[in-house]
Amino acid sequence: MLTKNENKWKKIIDNILIFNLFILIIGSLFFLICIVLTFYGNSSLFELFQKIWFPVFIPALSLFFTAILIEEIISRFINKNENN
């Protein structure tokens, strides 16, 4: 069973991950808009997207998938301990 302190940390981490998810969703929509505009001959937004790809979206993707992996490992560990 989680203690009050663990619940507090879990809420903080969950809020960070939700914010991260919104960054990824907005980034994917921005990417789609950039692609459409590039087809119409305006590539300036796509160049902006390329500039912010490494400093913004790569860390966001890494954090997202790492958090999913860690959450799965922790939940399996907790479930294994509860079954014993």
Taking 70 as the threshold, does the pLDDT of residue 1 lie above it?
no
- Torsion sign, CA atoms 30, 36, 39, 40: negative
Give the tens place of pLDDT for each residue, 48-79: 999 999 999 999 999 999 988 988 888 888 88
**In the chain, what are the domain boundaries?**
7-78
pLDDT, one tens digit per residue, over 30-45 is 999 999 999 999 999 9
pLDDT at 84 over 70: no
State whether the Cα torsion 55-59-53-24 is positive or negative: negative
Residue 6 clears pLDDT 80, i.e. is over it: no
Residue type, 46: F
Q: Which two tokens stand for residue 56?
A: 């913004």
Q: What is the pLDDT of residue 60?
A: 94
